[in-house]
Amino acid sequence: MLYLFLYPLHTSISVFNVFRYITFRTIYATLTAFLICFLLGPWAIRKLSYLQVGQYIREDGPKTHLKKAGTPTMGGALIITAILGSSLLWANLKNIYIWVVLGITAGFGLIGFIDDYLMQVKKQSMGLSARQKLLLQILIAFIGTVCLYLSPEFSTDVTFPFFKTFSPDLGVWYIPFAVFVIVGTSNAVNLTDGLDGLAIGPSIIAAVTYMVFCYVGGHYKIADYLQISYVAESGELAVFCGAMAGAGLGFLWFNAYPAQVFMGDVGSLSLGGALGTIAVITKQELLLVLVGGLFVIEALSVILQVGYFKLTHGRRIFRMAPLHHHFELKGWPEPKVIVRFWIIAIALSLVAISTLKLR
């Protein structure tokens, strides 16, 4: 909004020229989103506690979690408010990619909100069923992907990390592929959200990593120099990534061990949906396996555990899935699991960034 209103004034007041720069707006989008979460956090936590939106803790999980009963959840509503507020303020609102990623973030957040609301506020034993959630996610991701597919500049090529020239064109099949990436990421982040700060930490790391890819991939000269896919106008998404990273940092302030608030499905589904969408728009879909590597590892641990459990009629690979529960049950203190998983996420993101040169 500021870009549309203030940048045109640069002809008479030269200082407004600064609004032209994506880097400047990204930095301030990060700070704005951080401040929104940081300043509204205590009020939001009080409000959620007042509404008794307290987490129910399953008794079959690690016993160390029982003391978390009643921790307010649905803090993800604050994350979304900060991301949307900051992006609307600092991004160029004439950019189609900004609207697609905002739409999917808000849409997935709404699904999570309904689910959380039914369980936490209405105290129903079940929120939306797994099937209802999945269908709604597919629907929203499909609408977003079709908008991208119909926009004239958007390419349906898939780029492979480490390969310079191999980028097959999927044509119309790009739509189900992108829907799979977006919905899969959303659910992987949701599975990871089981320890204090465990989902938000790697989400911040992934947002910062994609911020780099948005900037270089949206800059014709740098993209040409690095020989990566140039996606015109995608640089603007760096502003969104900044807002996401800032909101994440502000939320982490309160979600850090011992957490004062959980994000709920409203947070985890929307953050995952946002990451998947950014990967799709920047043409770095497959790189998400590294950028969101921790989410992939957590999701794989569930797939392997459930598959093995069914095949062997009750035997397990891990003490409990997702993987963070396995280490908790092995006796690692919660903060140790969290910080070690963050370290893995940072290392994988560094490998992802190295693909800019290794190709």
Pattern 35-74, binding to ligand 57M, x per CB under 6 A? --------------------x-xx-xx---x--x----x-
Position among 53, 223, 259, 348 found at the interface with ligand 57M (CB under 6 A): 259
> Which one of 21-29, 148-156, 264-272, 345-353 is the stretch in contact with ligand 57M (CB under 6 A)?
264-272
- Using the minimum distance from each CB to ligand 57M, give the nearer residue, 61 or 176: 61
> Which one of 189-197, 274-282, 284-292, 345-353 is the stretch in contact with ligand 57M (CB under 6 A)?
189-197
Write a three-state SS string for the chain.
CHHHHHHHHHHCCHHHHHHHCHHHHHHHHHHHHHHHHHHHHHHHHHHHHHCCCECCCCCCCCHHHHHHCCCECCCHHHHHHHHHHHHHHHCCCCCHHHHHHHHHHHHHHHHHHHHHHHHHHCCCCCCCCHHHHHHHHHHHHHHHHHHHHHCCCCCCECCCCCCCCCCCECHHHHHHHHHHHHHHHHHHHHHHCCCCCCCHHHHHHHHHHHHHHHHHHCCHHHHHHHCCCCCCCHHHHHHHHHHHHHHHHHHHHHHCCCCCCCCHHHHHHHHHHHHHHHHHHCCCCCCHHHHCHHHHHHHHHHHHHHHHHHHCCCCCCCCCCCHHHHHHHCCCCHHHHHHHHHHHHHHHHHHHHHCCCCC
Query: Which residue has tokens 């950014």?
Result: 278
Position among 37, 207, 263, 281 found at the interface with ligand 57M (CB under 6 A): 263
Sign of the C-alpha dihedral computed for residues 230, 231, 232 and 235 taken in this order: negative
Quick check: 254 and 182 in contact, CB under 8 A?
Answer: no
* 219 lies in the site for ligand 57M, by CB under 6 A: no
* 299 lies in the site for ligand 57M, by CB under 6 A: no
To ligand 57M, the closest distance from the beta carbon of 313 in angstroms equals: 12
* 185 lies in the site for ligand 57M, by CB under 6 A: no
**Number of chain residues interacting with ligand 57M (CB under 6 A):** 29
- Using the minimum distance from each CB to ligand 57M, give the nearer residue, 46 or 94: 46
* 302 lies in the site for ligand 57M, by CB under 6 A: yes
Position among 40, 45, 320, 353 found at the interface with ligand 57M (CB under 6 A): 320
Give the CB-nearest residue to ligand 57M: 61
* 335 lies in the site for ligand 57M, by CB under 6 A: no
* 321 lies in the site for ligand 57M, by CB under 6 A: yes
> Which one of 90-98, 139-147, 288-296, 319-327 is the stretch in contact with ligand 57M (CB under 6 A)?
319-327
The C-alpha torsion from 305 through 311 and 313 to 315, rounded to 10°, is -40
> Which one of 83-91, 227-235, 258-266, 339-347 is the stretch in contact with ligand 57M (CB under 6 A)?
258-266
* 292 lies in the site for ligand 57M, by CB under 6 A: no
The overall longest dimension of the chain from CA atoms, in Å, is: 74
* 328 lies in the site for ligand 57M, by CB under 6 A: no
* 262 lies in the site for ligand 57M, by CB under 6 A: yes
* 177 lies in the site for ligand 57M, by CB under 6 A: no
* 194 lies in the site for ligand 57M, by CB under 6 A: yes
* 89 lies in the site for ligand 57M, by CB under 6 A: no
Binding residues for ligand 57M, per CB under 6 A? 55, 57-58, 60-61, 65, 68, 73, 190-191, 193-196, 255, 259, 262-265, 268, 302, 305-306, 309, 316, 320-322
